[in-house]
Chain A
């Protein structure tokens, strides 16, 4: 054999290795694609009868309600698992789901009666033991659950009998039902949790059961025949990861996917113009606002905050959202528990003359204001419009943009003057907005503006520790008014939740918190 021939053989071997690596299914570990490779095949990609393909811009992080806290994971989790209570998306009232009823014999005790005859996808019966197991695991510091704080006020969870569970709290906990209707408080199968990793292989009581997950590519679910509330019409649900929104829209147009949500305002006109596509838009729970850094002395000056609020014409910004924003001054938005209509215009009105006058009188324009902005969602657009309007009033505003991870760090460390943030509010409860974002307890963590006001704290505490819901509402109304009077945050807009579906998809239920239910969806 000549030297050249040897070289050829080596090359051939390398090429073979490369090609085998490229094509061999064996390179995918068995445990990653569970229960066989059921990724999107040619058939699935073209939408079969009772199937829905949902395009998500990112992959789920995991499929355990206890260990995740991102919206894509929640979207899958809420099809597979269920909570004891749910907020009715139309009435916004909390109703029992896996629970049958509840009572509060005293302010520290919640006795919850569970529905009977329900089983998890693995056949484990749903009972008080399962509820106790789930909540104890969520609360256990060793679990390191991202939303352990949901059940922080809980002292103990006790099994009374097969279908009755008792929750004892350390102090009266007003938002208990809202916390129990949060996706992160979904009930998991104890048997499955001990046998397998629910992050990869979830087992709940929901209308759909898990089939497979190819990380970065797709999650496949199928209908659960024994679902307690009647099996869903859809046979198969596929979440397909499509990171680029314009690609997802093209896929919807070409029929490769049948459902998108969270439509961006800069693409909404294109989507509305598509034939055979139905767009659903409705006011939602998210709120977006400008925050001041109260750690810096100058922002404790109410006149400065008033001047900035007066300089900002938020109608202009909302108009720019192409219908995907609701204008209201209120921090507690129209879809939240604790909202009142009076709060809509209770904030500082747009008054450029007043702003200019305050700037001139106090010399607010002398020191530059650092506006820190995360380069995602609509924050850049908010910042640009706000900068233009503030500059007009005489302020000297410098924008600094950052990617999300760095931004979270910088805002936690107080390295900004003003910034923009949003809050999606899964539970739809005002306490769940005011406590994390503005209460003194959370300064240095989720209260990124470091606002601290004992009077406000008292009202929020009362809203959290009062079990009577009407009384709670009053406390929230007052707390909200206090924030508006002091211009603690300048609300840019309240969110509009959106979905675009192929026009033969019927029965999609869109929740104001942006989540959705496929339980009653059919393809016609």
Chain B
């Protein structure tokens, strides 16, 4: 497993270099001048030129990229063009919120998803199964911004049980938990639906396997058949889906963050793109890429636990 981790870290280094080049190049080619955006429509030509000079935007592409990479390998991701704030600080302020939201949503998604998938697999074609499948379909189909707005209207404006938005209290306090509930449900529903579908099909496949029939024939208790022989073996594809979804959620969830006024990485990234704040876009994309690799590594390690036949040594 140590070899796996070392290998992944090497892969990560090359991946980040490649991504940084792609992002840098695409932002360089994309229309939109950061200096003109900072200056605003009221700035004169000389104002904009002075800003451009100040940011080093008049240097050739390779000089700019080389400067970025040499600073980045020393841990300096640069300063935001817009706010002059260090990029790393801006990300660190927002990342805990994104992480809290991702974890809370995954908890909602995993609980709802696995239970729904399990129940509908065990009662295949029953009313319960049909309802669960319908729920899964609805979960995937309902857009986040609509669900979020409806939840806010019901639980925050009308019933006044939960706050409309924001995420500024520690998660272990009552206020912190209250802030998490609506966004976690909004975001978790779609993931729950995907997990439920995967859990259902994976369980159905395993449940018909010979060893399950053998276990039943040997008189093993039904609960043991399900929890030990079936669910555990059905978990590999489910874990894969959970891992992928978690990776996506860590990349920031622009719509949910916007609807619930959460100060997260997704919003940081989209605002930075709109403002052509190159260093900020770079920094956040690199973080998301690194996290994705990290989450996949964890998923791989979990595989070896669930299925002893899988080994990376």
Q: Are B263 and A7 in contact (CB under 8 A)?
A: no
Q: B residues within 8 Å of A by Cβ? A: 1, 30-33, 36-48, 50-51, 53-54, 82-85, 89-90, 92-96, 99-100, 103, 149, 152-153, 156-157, 160, 163-166, 168-173, 175, 258-261, 263, 267-268, 271, 274-276, 298, 301-302, 304-305
Q: Are B47 and A241 in contact (CB under 8 A)?
A: no
Q: A22-B100, A23-B172, A152-B44 are in contact. Are A241 and B152 (CB under 8 A)?
A: no
Contact of B84 among A4, A10, A197 (CB under 8 A): A197
Give the shortest distance, in Å, between A510 (CB) and chain B (any CB): 21
Is A36 engaged at the interface, CB distance under 8 Å to the other chain? no
Residues of B close to A70: CB separation below 8 A: 40
CA distance A62 to B305 in the complex (A): 50
Counting contact residues on chain A (CB < 8 A from B), the size range is 35 or more
Known: A147-B43, A250-B164, A408-B32. 4 other contacts (CB 8 A): A23-B171, A62-B84, A146-B43, A247-B258
Query: Please, which residue of chain A has its CB at the minimum distance from the CB of B261?
Result: A242
Contact of B41 among A29, A197, A242, A423 (CB under 8 A): A423
Q: Are B168 and A243 in contact (CB under 8 A)?
A: no
Is A155 engaged at the interface, CB distance under 8 Å to the other chain? no
CA distance A405 to B271 in the complex (A): 11
Contact of B170 among A23, A248, A421 (CB under 8 A): A23
Give the shortest distance, in Å, between B271 (CB) and chain A (any CB): 7
Is A103 engaged at the interface, CB distance under 8 Å to the other chain? no
Of B43, B157, B171, B173, most buried by chain A (CB within 10 Å of CB) is B43
Q: Are A251 and B164 in contact (CB under 8 A)?
A: yes
Is A366 engaged at the interface, CB distance under 8 Å to the other chain? no
Residues of B close to A32: CB separation below 8 A: 85, 89-90, 92-93
CA distance A254 to B161 in the complex (A): 10
CA distance A243 to B100 in the complex (A): 20
- A63-88 Cβ-contact flags toward B at 8 Å (1 or 0): 00001011000000000000000000
Query: Please, which residue of chain A has its CB at the minimum distance from the CB of B55?
Result: A144
Contact of B157 among A242, A244, A250 (CB under 8 A): A250
Q: Are B44 and A250 in contact (CB under 8 A)?
A: no
CA distance A147 to B44 in the complex (A): 8
Q: A23-B171, A69-B42, A149-B46 are in contact. Are A243 and B32 (CB under 8 A)?
A: no
Q: Are B43 and A444 in contact (CB under 8 A)?
A: no
Give the shortest distance, in Å, between A319 (CB) and chain B (any CB): 27
Q: Are A409 and B33 in contact (CB under 8 A)?
A: yes
Of A31, A39, A197, A215, most buried by chain B (CB within 10 Å of CB) is A215
Give the shortest distance, in Å, between A221 (CB) and chain B (any CB): 17
CA distance A23 to B103 in the complex (A): 11
Contact of A250 among B51, B153, B175, B301 (CB under 8 A): B153
Is A14 engaged at the interface, CB distance under 8 Å to the other chain? yes
Query: Please, which residue of chain A has its CB at the minimum distance from the CB of B51?
Result: A144
Give the shortest distance, in Å, between A66 (CB) and chain B (any CB): 12
Q: List 5 A-B contacts (CB under 8 A).
A: A18-B103, A23-B170, A45-B166, A247-B165, A251-B261
Q: Are B274 and A405 in contact (CB under 8 A)?
A: yes
Residues of B close to A7: CB separation below 8 A: 1, 301-302, 304-305
Of A33, A147, A444, most buried by chain B (CB within 10 Å of CB) is A147
Q: A199-B84, A409-B32, A409-B33 are in contact. Are A214 and B53 (CB under 8 A)?
A: no
Q: A10-B1, A200-B85 are in contact. Are A145 and B260 (CB under 8 A)?
A: no
Give the shortest distance, in Å, between B173 (CB) and chain A (any CB): 8
Q: Are B83 and A404 in contact (CB under 8 A)?
A: no
In the A-B complex, the 6 residue pairs with the smallest Cβ-Cβ separation, listed nearest first, are A405-B32, A445-B45, A144-B54, A216-B263, A149-B44, A144-B50
Give the shortest distance, in Å, between B40 (CB) and chain A (any CB): 5
Contact of A145 among B45, B47, B92 (CB under 8 A): B47
Query: Please, which residue of chain B has its CB at the minimum distance from the CB of A148?
Result: B47
Q: Are B276 and A405 in contact (CB under 8 A)?
A: yes
Query: Please, which residue of chain B has its CB at the minimum distance from the CB of A28?
Result: B93
Q: Are B96 and A28 in contact (CB under 8 A)?
A: yes
Q: Are B39 and A69 in contact (CB under 8 A)?
A: yes
Q: A28-B92, A61-B83 are in contact. Are A11 and B301 (CB under 8 A)?
A: yes
Contact of B38 among A146, A216, A423 (CB under 8 A): A146
CA distance A127 to B268 in the complex (A): 40
Contact of B96 among A22, A146, A152, A247 (CB under 8 A): A22
Query: Please, which residue of chain B has its CB at the minimum distance from the CB of A30?
Result: B89
Contact of B99 among A18, A29, A243 (CB under 8 A): A18
CA distance A63 to B83 in the complex (A): 9
Give the shortest distance, in Å, between B65 (CB) and chain A (any CB): 20
Give the shortest distance, in Å, between B253 (CB) and chain A (any CB): 13
Query: Please, which residue of chain B has its CB at the minimum distance from the CB of A6?
Result: B1
Of A58, A70, A244, most buried by chain B (CB within 10 Å of CB) is A244
Give the shortest distance, in Å, between A231 (CB) and chain B (any CB): 28
CA distance A147 to B268 in the complex (A): 26
CA distance A69 to B41 in the complex (A): 9
Is A412 engaged at the interface, CB distance under 8 Å to the other chain? yes
Q: Are B274 and A21 in contact (CB under 8 A)?
A: no
Q: Are A58 and B175 in contact (CB under 8 A)?
A: no
Residues of B close to A148: CB separation below 8 A: 44, 46-47, 50
Q: Are B263 and A250 in contact (CB under 8 A)?
A: no
Q: Are A214 and B263 in contact (CB under 8 A)?
A: yes
CA distance A248 to B164 in the complex (A): 9
Q: Are A241 and B44 in contact (CB under 8 A)?
A: no
Residues of A close to B157: CB separation below 8 A: 250, 253-254
Q: A22-B96, A45-B163 are in contact. Are A404 and B48 (CB under 8 A)?
A: no
Query: Please, which residue of chain B has its CB at the minimum distance from the CB of A445?
Result: B45
Q: Are B42 and A147 in contact (CB under 8 A)?
A: yes
Residues of A close to B93: CB separation below 8 A: 28-29, 32-33, 214-217
Residues of B close to A145: CB separation below 8 A: 47, 50
Residues of A close to B85: CB separation below 8 A: 32, 199-200, 215
Give the shortest distance, in Å, between A286 (CB) and chain B (any CB): 12
Q: Are B171 and A146 in contact (CB under 8 A)?
A: no
Q: Are A62 and B83 in contact (CB under 8 A)?
A: yes
Contact of A40 among B166, B172, B271 (CB under 8 A): B166
CA distance A446 to B30 in the complex (A): 21
Q: Are B263 and A144 in contact (CB under 8 A)?
A: no
Residues of A close to B166: CB separation below 8 A: 40, 45, 217, 240, 256
